[in-house]
Structure 1
Amino acid sequence: MAKMTFFVICLVFSVTLLLFCVPTPVQSIAPASSSNCKELNQFNCYSAKNEGYFCNSREPTHTETRWYYDKGTCRKFNYKGCNGNRNRFCSKETCMKRCY
């Protein structure tokens, strides 16, 4: 009986240790490219920056570089992939062309 109790305690400890030692996913940031970035047909240069949200929380977090217009200039931000607003451009050049 003592051996069985010891085995159960070791098993519980091992599983607990495993659960707490699994590394969490690291956020990766991908630059905007023509293959993964689609320009919006309608845009709003005066909306505040909105990073959106991660589309599927079960997958590792992944953001992509986008640009937003902010008082006479275009600034970089990390877009999370879902929603956001229409102040979001694939490149600084496109942002400046449409908003400046």
Structure 2
Amino acid sequence: MIEKYNKTLRLFSTDRNGGVSHPPYQSLNLSYGVNDIAQAVTENRKLLKTRLKIQTLLSAKQVHGDSIFITDQNVIKDIEVENFDALMTDIPGIGLMIQQADCQA
């Protein structure tokens, strides 16, 4: 199925290198759900957007449920939606980010 979208779909995984967060969250912490400075997380997310060449980053505050957030044209700025565990879009330029573990930081 992914082959059908190979010109428009990009998958990525990050490590913790290349960001601005200070210990113990160093350096590329992308989670607002820990005690890192929010400005550092925002800057780290900007760095990620630049590296991925995306305009908007949509993330989810996951709850271990089965709700899916489907984006529309109204998503024009970076947001983190609450109470969703999956994200979908058909709009080019929007990055969808989910965490792979609640203990990401």
Is this a same-fold pair by TM over 0.5?
A: no
Give 1 or 2 for the bigger CA radius of gyration. 1
| TM-score interval, normalised by the smaller of the two chains | under 0.3
* TM-score relative to the length of structure 2: 0.22
Q: Determine which structure has greater relative contact order: mean sequence separation of CA pairs < 8 Å that are 6+ residues apart, divided by chain length.
A: 1
If each structure's helix is expressed as a fraction of its own residues, which one has the higher value? 1
* TM-score relative to the length of structure 1: 0.23
